[in-house]
Amino acid sequence: MRILLVEDDPTLRAQLRGGFVDAGYVVDEADNGELAHFLGETEPFDAVVLDLGLPRLDGLSVLRRWRAADITTPVLILTARDNWHEKVAGIDAGADDYLAKPFHLEELLARLRALIRRAQGLASPLLQCGALAMDTRSGRVTLSGQPVSLTSHEYKVLAYLMHRPGAVVSRTELTEHIYAQDYDRDSNTIEVFVGRLRRKLPPGTIETVRGMGYRLAAAS
């Protein structure tokens, strides 16, 4: 899962980035509203964490422009604790959730997981596809109750597929969601990760849809 972190405080941004990466997310960053607006319009993200007090262009303006352009990426806004009017304005501008500073990273991660699940119509943090299960809270993957050991990139590919049950996902889409913007992307490596996953999962779990991409099927 790939997220955009928009925060102008370098210390907080570094702390949040570290927490997101440790939780298995791919993170792009912006420290001002103009860059955030550009990235949000040109790059595909699974969610955005957006501070409102930004230089060059404030967070509310960024959010309003995204929504006016029909960009529906889930957005969680960060607000000052006493600025209740910012929360109201943020929700009215199209935010999906908000969190007041200071906050605990664990709560931010939980809200982020929920936003991403809801965007795909998923209610539970435990994703299930037949005998294959992924707990998005712990990052634990099991098959018929037995743990499956995955590398970080294997986990990211599988997580993206499990968040889109039954959907066909192209190699390009997978590439865009498991690498940050500044990473040297190569869609051919997706085939490598899928091949490794197939060796660890039952035959037929990851189907190839010729000319289109991959689809997750129920593992027995």
Same domain (yes/no): 26, 115: yes
> What is the mean pLDDT of the segment spanning 186-204?
89
- Using the predicted structure, report yes or no on whether residue 183 has a pLDDT greater than 70: no
The confidence score (pLDDT) of residue 187 equals 63
Do 8 and 105 lie in one domain? The reply is yes
The model's confidence at residue 47, banded by pLDDT at 50, 70 and 90, is very high
Query: Per the structure, how many domains does the chain have?
Result: 2
* Domain ranges, residue 97: 2-119
Regarding whether 153 and 97 lie in a shared domain, the answer is: no
Q: What are the tokens at 117?
A: 């699940």
Same structural domain, 86 and 135: no
Same domain, 105 and 78: yes
Q: Tell me the backbone φ, ψ of residue 148, rounded to 5 degrees.
A: -115, 120
Domain boundary, last residue among 59, 92, 119: 119
What CATH number has the domain bearing residue 154? 1.10.10.10
- Residue 161 CA to residue 104 CA, distance in Å, equals 29
Determine the Cα–Cα distance for residues 42 and 15; give it in Å rounded to an integer. Answer: 25
**Residue 179 pLDDT:** 84
Considering the chain, what is the average pLDDT of its residues? 92
Residue 181 pLDDT > 80: no
- Is pLDDT above 60 for 220? no
Q: Cα–Cα distances in Å, from 96 out to 36, 49, 92, 134, 173?
A: 17, 10, 10, 24, 23
Domain boundary, last residue among 90, 119, 148: 119
**In this structure, are 173 and 70 located in the same domain?**
no
Q: Which of 58, 87, 119 is at the close of a domain? A: 119
Q: Picking from 7-11, 108-112, 119-123, 130-134, which range would have the lowest pLDDT averaged per residue?
A: 119-123
Residue 89: predicted pLDDT: 87
24 token code pair: 């298995």
Q: Work out the average pLDDT over 135-150.
A: 94
Question: What percent of the chain is modeled with pLDDT above 90?
Answer: 78
Asked if the model's pLDDT at residue 43 lies above 70, the reply is: yes
Q: Residue 123 above 90 pLDDT?
A: no
